[in-house]
Structure 1
Amino acid sequence: MSDFIYLASQSPRRRQLLEQIGVQHQLLLPDPHEDAESLEAVKAGEAPAHYVQRVTGLKLDAALTRLKALGLSAAPVLCADTTVALGREILGKPVDAAQARAMLARLAGQTHRVLTAIAVQKGRQRHAALSESWVRFSPMTSAQIRAYVESGEPMGKAGAYGVQGRAAAYIEHIRGSYSGIMGLPLFETAQMLRQVGVRC
């Protein structure tokens, strides 16, 4: 049995979720010279489910290279990536407030999908899973959208919102995995970690 895992993610929400199911973890983050952002580039015509799984695989490959280069002790490595999809269109992290407002204006009054891919590797053994959920936003006025964007919460989040934050005031309905929408589907994560000998 493994006492801990490496989490290759900057997301504080993923850390909280692992703590929720009692998984000890250490962060395995990119060095400043690593071009981590380029891994998230979308290919032309790429379907959201394919995109999020491909990016997660690339992140895991990069994390394993990092682990080897740093000479750290062996333990399972967990990666995840979350994307918001409106139809076949991928809504990533907004680059600025204007883009965040535009994304939220499109999500308001609509149902969209949230896809979170996870992958874990221990030695040569790799497991991967995809969590798909649906979120319906109520209509929002431009003043409501502006106020939410000014709170700063949408920045750095796929689709320009955080389900666990102030956006909850506009979320009418959720179908699927709440933790998956947050960024780490706990049911699938626990299943995969048990497969590589981690207690949950």
Structure 2
Amino acid sequence: MPVDPAGSGDDGRPALVLASASPRRAELLARLGVTPLRRPVDIDETPRAGEKGPDLVVRLASAKAAAAAARGDGHDEVVLAADTEVIAEKRVLGKPRDRADAASMLRTLSGRTHEVVTGVAVVRGPVSAVTRVTTAVTFRPLSDAEVAWYIATGEPDDKAGAYGLQGAGAVLVERVDGSDTNVIGLPLAETVALLRDVGLDLLPGPP
């Protein structure tokens, strides 16, 4: 049976807790008719020496889920956390420090294919699970004027890789190979499967 959209757990099913303040992840869950409880956490997201992007997202997603679960009140709940990074030329492109940094990132991505990798972790009591999803994204070649225009929208300011597929940044993208919701911040198909593994089904079962 589908989860209570309010995520209350009052019907005997666990509440769904989203360990993120990201409006994009909440909006993606809303596509499934789900409104989770929100419990953002603040952890150190600094990459470790020599840590590769795919390993980083798994570690951070797991740490976020564990931190949010530790703040629970003892009621049955499933904590969901995610971390998304953009990887280009083996470098992790996080959120830009400023608009000059955003311009540099966009020029790096221009006319090239990069990877968007998301780690998704869930915790339900002593049980935890984590997965990683990778999507290849190809940018079309961008002119300096287009880079300046996009930066002026303000959209790149708080986004890994300095762009957002769900907004005006979609015009920069030539092709997406893989999950588009992964690029936005939460791969829905894989998230639903992971939640099912710990006993929380967001979708109706078979007839």
> C-alpha deviations, 1:66-119, integer Å up to 9, x for none?
22xxx3633100000000001321000111111111100110111000001100
Please give the alpha-carbon distance, in whole angstroms, between the structure 1 residues aligned to 2:13 and 2:95: 34
| Secondary structure in 1 matching 2:111 | coil
Please give the alpha-carbon distance, in whole angstroms, between the structure 2 residues aligned to 1:109 and 1:55: 30
Please give the alpha-carbon distance, in whole angstroms, between the structure 2 residues aligned to 1:78 and 1:116: 13
Aligned residue-pair number: 191
Q: Residue 6 of structure 2 aligns with which residue?
A: none
Please give the alpha-carbon distance, in whole angstroms, between the structure 2 residues aligned to 1:103 and 1:144: 13
Instruction: Say yes or no: does 1:27 pair with 2:38.
Output: yes
Please give the alpha-carbon distance, in whole angstroms, between the structure 1 residues aligned to 2:129 and 2:67: 16
Please give the alpha-carbon distance, in whole angstroms, between the structure 1 residues aligned to 2:122 and 2:33: 17
Distance 1:65 1:4, change over 3 A: closer
Q: Report the AA paired with residue 144 of structure 2.
A: S
With normalisation by structure 2, the TM-score equals 0.88
Instruction: Say yes or no: does 1:11 pair with 2:22.
Output: yes
1:3 positional shift:
5.2
Within-5 A mapping of 1:130-169? 130-169=132-171
| Secondary structure in 1 matching 2:71 | helix
Note if contact 1:110-1:136 (Cα within 8 Å) is conserved in structure 2.
Answer: yes
Distance 1:148 1:72, change over 3 A: farther
Note if contact 1:2-1:199 (Cα within 8 Å) is conserved in structure 2.
Answer: no
With normalisation by structure 1, the TM-score equals 0.91
> C-alpha deviations, 1:140-173, integer Å up to 9, x for none?
1111111111111011111000011111111101
Which blocks of at least 5 consecutive residues in structure 1 are unaligned? 31-35
Q: CA RMSD in A?
A: 1.4
Note if contact 2:84-2:160 (Cα within 8 Å) is conserved in structure 1.
Answer: yes
Q: Residue 101 of structure 1 aligns with which residue?
A: 103
Q: Report the AA paired with residue 111 of structure 1.
A: T
Q: Residue 49 of structure 2 aligns with which residue?
A: 44
1:29 positional shift:
1.8
Instruction: Say yes or no: does 1:63 pair with 2:68.
Output: yes
Please give the alpha-carbon distance, in whole angstroms, between the structure 1 residues aligned to 2:186 and 2:34: 13
Note if contact 1:39-1:59 (Cα within 8 Å) is conserved in structure 2.
Answer: no
| Secondary structure in 2 matching 1:198 | coil
Please give the alpha-carbon distance, in whole angstroms, between the structure 1 residues aligned to 2:178 and 2:81: 20
Which blocks of at least 5 consecutive residues in structure 2 are unaligned? 1-11, 203-207
